[in-house]
A and B are shown apart, each in its own frame.
Chain A
Amino acid sequence: MAASALVGASGFGNWARLAAQQSLTQDQLLEFDTYGNVSLIHVTDIHAQLKPIFFREPEINLGIGDARGQMPHVTGADFRKAYGIADGSPSAYALTYNDFSSLARSYGRVGGLDRVSTVINAIRADRPDALLLDGGDTWHGSYTCYHSQGQDMVNVMNALKPDAMTFHWEFTLGSDRVNEIVEELPYAALGQNIFDSEWDEPAELFKPYKFFERGGVKVAVIGQAFPYMPIANPRWMFPEYSFGIRDENMQAMVDEVRGMGAECVVVLSHNGFDVDKKMASRVSGIDVILSGHTHDALPEPVLVGQTYIIASGSNGKFVSRVDLDVRDGKMMGLKHKLIPIFSDVIAPDPMITKLIDEQRAPHKAQLEEVIGHTDENSLLYRRGNFNGTWDDVICDALLSEREADIAMSPGVRWGPSILPGQAITREDIWNVTSMSYGEAYRTEMTGEFIHVILEDVADNLFNPDPYYQQGGDMVRIGGMGYRIDVTKPQGKRISELTLLKTGEKIDPSKTYMVAGWASVNEGTEGPQIWDVVESHIRKQGTVSVSPNTSVQVAGV
């Protein structure tokens, strides 16, 4: 069955298109009075989403310490109030979680790199030498990306002609494959913090920065790859590389490019927003940080000292345009627009549509096979600090398919949403599970060790110092409830661990059967998680989810 027929069958195909087109036009979305003399176009965290998708923003995104109540740790009605966004408006749909299912039916899917191409082309029509900068997490996250080892994304991104890129999940392709692609990449592969792990010296293949002459201005773009790759992802897949924040080296690079005559310094970052804020407060001389990793989408820049930080969302849902006025070696002003990619409003670039379809053609039947459906009340989404409904389905699959007491699913921030009453295809399952280390393990753990894991992951999210955060969300748990006080120090946050099937407290000395996936340990064995989830959904036929109350959050 064709994808378009499936959308029609679920009742929100053409109708959504008309509704969106009545309230919005492509011209409105692209409207921008060209400003200054330099334009930056920022895309980031696309996670291999070539086609339009649904993507629900988080309901819970807690800020700790100084970040409490600060952007981007504001959601829903508070977020709309902060930016003067009307309830039910296109911006409310794009940027907040409320009424997601009904707004999705009105405004339709978002993203699609053929639509992104149209936006890029429109900006280049205004400013032909605009810089296109990709913040990374591009060559990861879909069926076709997995099977082509990132080649589908490389082919399509090359056609968009970026000027520079930095990295995170790309390294989970393994260093041989990353090196192979980067050696042939027709644009700059940047990362001032990508080092050789043996000698702790800058890696040869990745340059720290690149100079561009734009509008008579010398612009230096410095790359900052994800600092915690060997910790958050399997180190054994790229043992030759070492990362880290290395803000002392960042300062050295800023000083070096300023010394070489840079009039404008842009950092293309995969730090995550809070880490970028801290870095901006410690490193002087950066004009703009194009921020990625934590998937935040903000309609206005955040100013730290003299540095503007721009957050451009994820999954191809947004493109940021940033125009700069640089005169006499100084940035005098900045104008910014976060452009939501409403796929029914922005016309696709036919050349890119064709290219995308060519990447997908060999896999078409596999991608489009319908595995199950959501029921009329079940929206599947992932984003949020604690369990999303997609994660609940994945944890249920692990519990039943692997006969486990407790399931653990990683708190990654990628993965599109599925609306109520929508078909779930194999592609949809891969969009929330695809990775190069997807083996679903099954192992015994003591209650004490389970507690240690939760404390460890919680500290990676809720440590008050952003430099000790890794930018993922909390590990998702099935079959067990717990209480978390986010304000407490490590070792004191997690309590009241309860095995849901019996209602009994978890005994630190007792052993439990735990199933999970995405282990960073080499040699992990088990069936691939997408096969586990597919088997589960196939048995269910219709997937229904209910509110998950197993995590009690305190200190908010």
Chain B
Amino acid sequence: MEFSRRDTLAMGLGAAVVTVLPFRVSAAADDKIAEFTGGAEMSDGGITLTAPEIAENGNTVPISVEAPGATAILVLAMGNPTPGVATFNFGPMAGSQSASTRIRLAGTQDVVAVAKLADGSFAKASSTVKVTIGGCGG
């Protein structure tokens, strides 16, 4: 392939536009949590959220949640225009209270999981997932 020095070729460093700042938490996300918990306090223990620190592909980010004894787990992408991802409900016959899914993240933001535990209390876990242009790896 021959190239003249002035050929303009696209697909350079980052073809997609990414915003500079991490995405802000949308008000809708806080509303969703309040709706789920009825405004109750949330503890830190009792729920495990596993998410990558940096997304390999922001369009499909694998996450998993686990909360032993939980009856329901709400998952939110706090910075997405539509923050609700899923609510997993576990019946009394459920073998384990865990679930995995893939979510689309519009940009760097926190992913939050809130579990309703067997005793009716709530537990929350949060993880920042970075969405980056990439390149320049050592």
Q: Which residues from chain A sit less than 8 Å from chain B, CB to CB?
A: 168, 197, 200, 226-233, 235, 242-245, 248, 272, 293-295, 401-403, 408, 410-414, 441-445, 449, 451-453, 455-457, 459-460, 465, 467-468, 470-473, 475, 490-491, 513-514, 516, 518-527
**CA A455 – CA B132 in complex, angstroms?**
10
In the assembled complex, the CB of A117 is this many whole angstroms from the nearest CB of chain B, namely 26
Q: Which of B53, B100, B136 contacts A457 (CB under 8 A)? A: B136
Sample 12 A-B pairs with CB under 8 A, ordered by A number: A231-B55, A231-B137, A401-B5, A441-B13, A449-B17, A452-B18, A452-B19, A456-B132, A473-B136, A490-B108, A513-B8, A521-B12
Q: Verify A244–B12 contact, CB threshold 8 A.
A: no
How many residue pairs bridge A and B at CB < 8 Å? 155
**CA A133 – CA B136 in complex, angstroms?**
26
Q: Verify B135–A519 contact, CB threshold 8 A.
A: yes
Q: Verify A244–B13 contact, CB threshold 8 A.
A: no
Q: Which of B15, B20, B132, B136 contacts A475 (CB under 8 A)? A: B136
In the assembled complex, the CB of B17 is this many whole angstroms from the nearest CB of chain A, namely 6
Q: Which of B8, B130, B138 contacts A443 (CB under 8 A)? A: B8
**Contacts beyond the supplied A445-B12, A465-B53: 19 A-B pairs with Cβ under 8 Å:** A232-B137, A235-B57, A242-B62, A244-B52, A244-B53, A272-B138, A408-B13, A441-B9, A441-B12, A444-B8, A451-B20, A452-B133, A470-B136, A471-B137, A490-B20, A521-B13, A524-B9, A525-B3, A527-B3
Q: Verify A514–B137 contact, CB threshold 8 A.
A: no
- Asked, given contacts A245-B53, A248-B50, A524-B12, whether A472 binds B20 with beta carbons under 8 Å apart, the answer is no
Q: Verify A443–B20 contact, CB threshold 8 A.
A: no
In the assembled complex, the CB of A175 is this many whole angstroms from the nearest CB of chain B, namely 14
Q: Which residues on the B side are within 8 Å of A408 (C-beta)?
A: 13
Q: Verify A524–B11 contact, CB threshold 8 A.
A: yes
In the assembled complex, the CB of B78 is this many whole angstroms from the nearest CB of chain A, namely 17
Chain A residue with the shortest CB-CB distance to B18: A452
| In the assembled complex, B54 has its CB within 8 A of some CB on chain A | yes
Q: Verify A468–B7 contact, CB threshold 8 A.
A: no
Q: Which of A243, A245, A443 contacts B11 (CB under 8 A)? A: A443
In the assembled complex, the CB of B134 is this many whole angstroms from the nearest CB of chain A, namely 4
| In the assembled complex, B1 has its CB within 8 A of some CB on chain A | yes
- CB 8 Å contact bits of B15-45 with A (1 = contact, 0 = none): 1011111100000000000000000000000
Q: Verify A460–B136 contact, CB threshold 8 A.
A: yes
| In the assembled complex, B10 has its CB within 8 A of some CB on chain A | yes
Q: Verify A526–B3 contact, CB threshold 8 A.
A: yes
- Asked, given contacts A402-B5, A456-B132, A460-B132, whether A232 binds B11 with beta carbons under 8 Å apart, the answer is no
Q: Which of B50, B100, B133, B134: most chain A CB closer than 10 A?
A: B134
Q: Which residues on the A side are within 8 Å of B136 (C-beta)?
A: 232, 410-412, 457, 460, 470, 472-473, 475, 518
